[in-house]
Amino acid sequence: MTMLQKIGAQVQNDGKCIFTVWAPEIESIALQITGLEEQTIPMQKMEFGYWSATLENIPLDTRYFLNLNNDMLRPDPVSVSQPDGVHEASALVDHNAFSWTDASWPGIPLEKLIVYELHTGTFTSERNFEGIISKLDYLLELGINAIEIMPVAQFPGARNWGYDGVFPFAVQNSYGGPDGLKKLVNACHEKGIAVVLDVVYNHLGPEGNYLREFGPYFTDKYKTPWGSALNFDDAYADGVRNFFIQNALMWFRDYHIDALRLDAVHAIMDFSANHFLKELADETAKLSQELGREFLLIAESDLNDVRLINPKEKGGYGLQAQWNDDFHHALHTLLTGENAGYYVDFGKLKDLEKAFKHTFVFNGNYAPHRHKSYGNNADENPAKQFVVCIQNHDQVGNRMLGDRLSETLSIPALKLAAAAYILSPYIPMLFMGEEYGEKNPFQYFISHSDKELVEAVRNGRKEEFKSFKWAGEVPDPQSETTFKNSMLSWQYEQSEANELHKFYRRVIELRKTHPVFSQPDKNNLKTEADEATNILKIERWNNEITTLAYYHFGKKPTEIKLENAENYSMLISNFGAEEAKNSNLKTTEKLKLPPQSFIIFESHQSN
């Protein structure tokens, strides 16, 4: 078990500030206070590689560096504010000074979440947290009750997806810094919206990453797609584990974040007896009990492994939920016909049927693209433990041109996609702009100052797309034009966009209020896939109501035969279906379905 130690600059109520940093192999460290009255204060060595210094009556506008071995000035690796960027001085922040008004906020249960993923810099023209606040009423009207914010940890420059963050404790200065994020969370809670924050515990970005100079934060035992792995199980690993556990606890405690989305946990390399994720879950549970509010941990994983979300009693790590990419891939390939890259493993209607009923398409079976069998069985895990989508930052932004489904799919097909995943048994997540068919792409962008690094990123992007047969040129990630092209247009009042927007509101309302669809249950669920007609039939029920959904992915019209038609009434569809809206349905059992359409019926048990 890691010995937990508070780190960073801890501002106390009595005017003191305790500075603590982990640097087990450094010979000496001193605080270098900058400004008009520069001071150098030696830090005292403590146990387990920690150094500490306490200052009295320190002004809150203080900026400081850490002086390593009397010859190297570096920002504090636990800095909570980098107002002038990743290479400049760290700034103090008194977390107790913010006036929160969310003391009565109860949180939202996992099974009730309707999540909306967004990128702070491209969501609005303001490009900051204030811009998000200005759109909260819009999100409420749409039916959203949780936003998931892409990473905000300080990164180099002013534009970045956020996965190049190098100060995990500092909130990006160009977004509004620590107070800006607190204002956003407070405003969300006042309106009944939960906040999920995307955090990266598997790597740090290259520019401004000074952690190696403080200690063995990385290990060469393992490699990740982004270079050396963080040191979670090698010599000195306790200090690294403490660093990231304290980071997670900070977001919950000091920023009132409701849930953390843990990026690419398959790249957290830890073969110790007590996996880092399990310890993180344990410490999060302790804080939840202490503060009387449940905090959630949601993993992004490429492993299809339920050990992440199984309770400790079953040998699991105890995280609350994980993303399910299989559902996305199965639905995406049916809609688009794409079969390159990892999409080669999908494309059959039975794949989506399996995702509905058994969660993972690959649960121990062979995957041709991977050239191996992978995954395990998720049948015993409740549906609320899985987040599904049809678009997200990865599945859009990691396409060569960052093109959205609205570029190639018709409005009926977009409605079909929305109904399939929002009314699935799993937790739905929208990607910003999806709800009105945003046409602007979401492309990969950076603003590094290192020219060699910029060129390496450019080349890396080109290499990444070799397994896909996409036409065109890779947008320059360093160009500001790429960033501006990725901003939402907010053109949702035009005819087709408005039609889609209204449809999303209706589907989300059904998800939240309908007795069957509001319960994320995959047990009371029956599936039937007809490959000949490309129709997936999904039946769900509770003690009072049965719903019957026909999802038609074919490109030609077809016909369905509804047994006991007189017992059913139409609930929603993406086409007229006038004969299903009136009493004619009671005298006919056949109904024509247009290409890429769906229709859902309901039947009350008392009928």
pLDDT of residue 457: 87
CATH of the domain at 38: 2.60.40.10
pLDDT of residue 37: 72
Mean pLDDT, consecutive 10-residue stretches, the chain (607 aa), reads 91 93 97 85 97 93 95 97 97 96 96 98 98 98 98 96 97 98 98 98 95 96 90 97 98 98 97 97 98 97 97 96 98 96 95 98 97 97 98 95 96 98 98 98 93 86 71 87 97 91 98 97 96 97 96 96 87 77 55 96 80
CATH number at residue 547: 2.60.40.1180
> Is 545 a member of any domain?
yes
Structural domain ending residue among the three candidates 76, 96, 116:
96
Is 568 domain-assigned?
yes
Task: Please tell me the predicted confidence (pLDDT) of residue 1.
Answer: 74
Active site residue 300: yes
**Do the domain assignments include residue 107?**
no
Q: What is the pLDDT of residue 415?
A: 98
Report if residue 484 sits inside a domain.
Answer: no
Where a domain ends, among 96, 122, 149? 96
In a domain, 579, yes or no: yes
Q: What pLDDT sits at residue 221?
A: 93
Q: What does the pLDDT read at residue 36?
A: 61
Q: Which of 207, 233, 270, 300 is catalytic?
A: 300
Residue 560 forms part of a structural domain: yes
- Choosing from 76, 233, 238, 263, the catalytic residue is 263
**What pLDDT shows up at residue 567?**
87
The DSSP line for 141-205 is: HHT--EEEEPP-EE-SSS---STT-SEEEEE-GGGTHHHHHHHHHHHHHHTT-EEEEEE--S---
Annotation marks residue 234 as catalytic: no
Q: How far apart are alpha carbons 199 and 214 in whole angstroms?
A: 22
CB 86 within 8 A of CB 75: yes
Domain boundary among 96, 126, 149: 96
> In the chain, how many domains are there?
2
Q: What is the pLDDT of residue 467?
A: 62
Domain annotation covers residue 589 = yes
Flag whether 532 is in a domain: yes
Contact between 299 and 321 under an 8 Å Cβ cutoff? The reply is: yes
Domain span at residue 566? 525-604
Which pLDDT value is given to residue 463?
76
pLDDT of 582 reads 47
For the stretch 136-139, contacts whose Cβ atoms lie closer than 8 Å and that sit 24 or more positions apart, written own/partner, are: 136/187, 136/188, 136/191, 136/193, 137/191, 139/193
Q: Look at residue 606 in the predicted model and tell me its pLDDT.
A: 60
